[in-house]
Structure 1
Amino acid sequence: MSKNDFKLLSIRAGHHARRLIRKEGGLEPSRIKLMVGASGGPKWLALARLDRAILRHWIVGRTQSMDLLASSIGTWRFACYAQPDPLKALARFEEAYLDYRPEKGQTADKITRDSYAILGDILGEDGGAAMFQGPMRLAVMAVRGRHVLNTDRRVPLGVGLAAAALGNMAHRSALGLFFERALFADPRSDCSYTAWSGFPMRRLNLTADNLPHAIMASCSIPMLLNGITIPGAPKGLYRDGGIIDYHFDLPFFHHDPDGLVLYPHFTDRIIPGWFDKHLGWRKARAENASNVVLVAPSAEFVSRLPYGKIPDRKDFTTLETEDRIRYWRLVLDETERLSDAFETLIETGQFAGQVQPILGEAE
């Protein structure tokens, strides 16, 4: 593999993480205390093979505890990470996702039922109960709708979403008038999630009983899927955690001051919330990423993919089903190169030399 192949990956880290990586000559797996998984729908397919490489090198066989924080599609990926055989779980997820053929004009009820069925296949016969026995400690971010957004009726829901989007344009904190964070976390976790400020938030225990409902809530895109009621949680409808925490622009606290956060991401840009996707002035804060190591496909790699992009939700409407599946499988084949580049960097000790500053930080 040539040095040019390393350009397929963008590896960025905050100032504290860069200092440790360069001091130690690489990223020590024992340093990784938390992993983060972003929202993004089909964009996760750009990470599927990289996830497998990370699992093979740093997760499978690990006995040291690790926290996994995710919203939306990230929760599905990390529900695989936390299972006793994560590689098989991830393979089930990939095939179920690729094989899904939505009907034209199908309702939110139908999409929600289908999603629960796919999730059941991924979690396996025990419904994910074994996840609470291993070293991985999952935390699922959702939101609970407030006032007019605590409904699935399309007209008031649409009006409420429009109001939330306008409020967010004025100031991100305005989203707190419409939603509150609901974090369902493995009770074994000692991450200081409650230290986050800016929005109302409830921390609730993630259990085998509420696991599928919490995961479904975290990916429940308003108007596309139904809001989810969750057993044992405060009354209301729970929805996509990416509404507030699309890419997690948060300070990641941990009891270990030298613990690092590994963030396999599909871009090296961190967008704070779902409504910020088209707000070029809404920037993530570099100080929040001081202990973050972000690994993503490079812009050069993405530009060479079919259509010059990674998969996204628009593919369901702009491409015929068979064309979409063919394109997505081509992307998966290409992302084997990301996996190869990552494994070579780790095995040859060249990881530290590829690390660049994150979020516009100076070197």
Structure 2
Amino acid sequence: MTTLKVLAGPRAFSHIRAHGLNPSDVQSVICASGAAKTLTTIGLDKMILGQWLKNIDHSVDLLGTSAGAFKLAAACRTDTLGWLDQFANIYSTQTYADKVDEPDVRDIISWAPQELIDAVMADGGDEEILSHPNFRLHIGTVRSFNLLASENVKRQKQAIAKAALLSLIDNQSLRGIAERVVFSDPRSSKALRPIDNYPTHNVTLDKKNLGPALNASGAIPVMMHGIEIGTEDGIHLYRDGGMLDYHPIPSQLWPSNEGIVLYPHFYDYLKWRWFDKFYPWRKVSASKLDNVVIFAPSDDYVKSLPYGRIPSRNDFKRFIKNEPKRLEVWQTAIQRSEELGEAFLELVQSERIADEMVLLK
């Protein structure tokens, strides 16, 4: 069974064909939103971030939104392997079964990310994350305006419904209700210059805003409370960074980005905006992924997982009366993901990657 797919943009494809793929080539690693889907690649993440890039002598920028940001923050702890295991364990064992009496569903769902963030930042974690010798963390969020800035669920739903309809026309449907805010490690040399015409702000990441920024990055509208964060231009309400950058596209945020961008991902394609996931024909084109290499589980691998699919947030509903079964399914996916990491290492060390990769189209 083929375990891992390798898909490369034109420039990355040519480079790997000529030189293979080496740690010194990598300038960025991106992890996307996706809730429980991110558990699918945890073994791959561990191999890339905790072993293969362990002894690099240059800085690597890590950009994530929502669960992808949580995972990358964990990877910035000194014990990268141990904390990625911790991330997977805490995320997979969260349960809402003992909180069903809460009057507001947002109170039920909002506690879980905070528990995970508190764990990752505990015992000097914030210091480790912000002083990692090689990794430079970037956390994608959105600043909310108008109806989306209301904590009234009905008003949020109105904003989302209107944006969803407008998304049928173009990718500017969130204009006027959301602006991109990326909280970035001040040591990074990356210049944030998005080319999608959305108002964008770059905020320096520090001990004070690290936790709130992570929390905001995964604060799904309607389902979760927004997060208030104060910056130089005042206090604003922040929500899920995946709304604008569901699967962050590096060339749209860092247009002058050099080097190879690794994208360990649960799919073999990218969806830029939050609403794009509802439209099968909307996939990011190769022209926007010139120096990107996507590593994703193969179709055969996914079919071999329990129920023939990767974990999903919908599993909370699917197994609502059988939490042990959900945990078993998710833990199996986590354990099996080590196979993806092993496949990655074999490909890069044997240099078979040049033969196995497919040119993105």
Pick the TM interval, shorter chain.
over 0.9
- Describe the SS at the equivalent of 1:67: strand
RMSD: 1.7
2:217 alignment partner AA: S
Contact 2:10/2:286, CA 8 A, preserved across alignment? no
Q: What letter matches 2:305 in structure 1?
A: L
Q: Is contact 1:32–1:262 with CA below 8 Å preserved after alignment?
A: yes
State yes or no: 1:40 paired with 2:34.
Answer: yes
Are 2:6 and 2:296, in contact at CA under 8 Å, matched by a contact in 1?
A: yes
Match of 1:11 among 6, 26, 31: 6
Aligned to 2:289: 289
**Does the CA-based 8 Å contact 1:69-1:139 persist in structure 2?**
yes
- Measure the CA separation in 1 of the matches of 2:222 and 2:266: 25
Tell me, in whole angstroms, the C-alpha distance in 1 between the residues paired with 2:174 and 2:49.
35
Label 1:59 to 1:223 Cα distance change in 2 as closer, same or farther (>3 A): same
Q: Deviations over 1:18-75 (max 9, x none)?
A: 1111111x21111100111100000011111111111343222333111011111110
Q: For residues 114-153 of structure 1, what are the structure 2 equivalents within 5 Å?
A: 114-134=112-132, 135-153=134-152
CA shift for structure 1 position 119? 1.2
Which residue in 2 is equivalent to 1:326? 328
For 1:30, the equivalent position in structure 2 comes to 24
Match of 1:218 in 2: 217
- The equivalent residue for 2:182 is 183
- 5+ residue gaps, structure 2: none
Q: Counterparts of 1:333 and 1:131 in 2: how far apart (Å)?
A: 26
Q: 1:305 to 1:20 in 2, by over 3 A?
A: same
The answer on whether the counterparts of 1:219 and 1:240 sit within 8 Å (CA) in structure 2 is: yes
| Distance (whole Å) between structure 2 residues aligned to residue 353 and residue 289 of structure 1 | 20
| Aligned match of 1:97 | 91
Letter in 2 for 1:318: R
Q: Distance in 2 between matches of 1:285 and 1:192?
A: 23
- The 5-angstrom pairing of residues 136-285 of structure 1 reads 136-232=135-231, 234-251=234-251, 253=254, 257=258, 259-285=259-285
Give the Cα separation in 1 of the matches to 2:229 and 2:111: 15
Q: Distance in 2 between matches of 1:152 and 1:291?
A: 40
How far apart in 1 are the matches of 2:283 and 2:90? 35
Percent of pairs with identical residues: 32
Residue 177 to residue 231, structure 1, CA distance change in 2 (3 Å) = closer
4+ residue runs over 4 A deviation: none
Give the conservation status (yes or no) of the 8 Å contact 2:69–2:217.
yes
Classify the secondary structure of the residue corresponding to 2:139.
strand
CA apart distance, 1:92: 1.4
Query: Number of paired residues?
Result: 352
Shift of 1:294: 0.6
Contact 2:113 2:218 in 1 (8 A): no
Aligned position for 1:21: 16
**Alpha-carbon shift at residue 339 of structure 1 (Å):** 2.0
Q: Could you tell me the TM-score, scaled by structure 1's length?
A: 0.92
Q: 1:160 to 1:11 in 2, by over 3 A?
A: same
